[in-house]
Amino acid sequence: MPAIEEMVKFISLKIKKGEEVRLNFICTHNSRRSQFSQIWAQTAADYYGIPANCYSGGVEVTAFNERAVQAIERDGFQVSKSGNGNPVYSVRWGENSFPILAFSKVYDDKSNPQSGFTAVMTCDHADENCPFIPGADARIAFRFEDPKAFDDTELEGEKYTERSHQIGAELFLIFKKVKELI
């Protein structure tokens, strides 16, 4: 089953059962695709009034990549930064939206759920090299190509925005379909 349909079915079933929807988007470094996914998924869930909590994590801690941060700013998200090294970004999609805290962390960081969540694998490396995610009730492979391949090229900004838009469009489609089913 394609990942979009699998996620729609899974989220809809959780809601119909009255269970909490907790999605932890996982990629190796938690610096680009998993951050995009957490931000867009939480935004889409809020937009459609779907009770979901979205998180992100990796298997290594780096930092939310500045190029990815710039891409979400170009998309109109309001972003403020605190700290250095691995700063914490407060991301808002609207004036009255709750902030989404984005920073690089491992998937089992204390800010993420320790059990009862769905592991959504956003990159092939993490999906292939993490066969078991402790505490996950389910696992869905939802892989995206890494815009990192275009770092320091003329296409860098375009490719980061393209990946952000792809992830956003797919997650908005998922939550729109969930809204239609519940």
- What are the boundaries of each domain within the chain? 3-177
Q: Give me the pLDDT at residue 162, please.
A: 97
**Angle formed by the axes of helices 156-181 and 3-16, to 10°?**
40
pTM comes to 0.96
Q: Copy the structure tokens of residue 33.
A: 């695709």
Q: Give me the pLDDT at residue 47, please.
A: 96
Q: Which residues of the chain have pLDDT under 70?
A: 1
CA 57, 55, 81 angle in degrees (round to 5)? 80
Nearest to 175 by CA among 51, 55, 17: 51
H or E element that contains 178: helix 156-181
User: Which residues make Cβ contacts (< 8 Å) with residue 69, sequence separation at least 6?
Assistant: 79, 81, 89
CB 81 within 8 A of CB 87: yes
3-177 homologous superfamily: Response regulator (3.40.50.2300)
Phi-psi region of 130 (alpha: psi -120 to 50; beta: other; left: phi over 0): beta
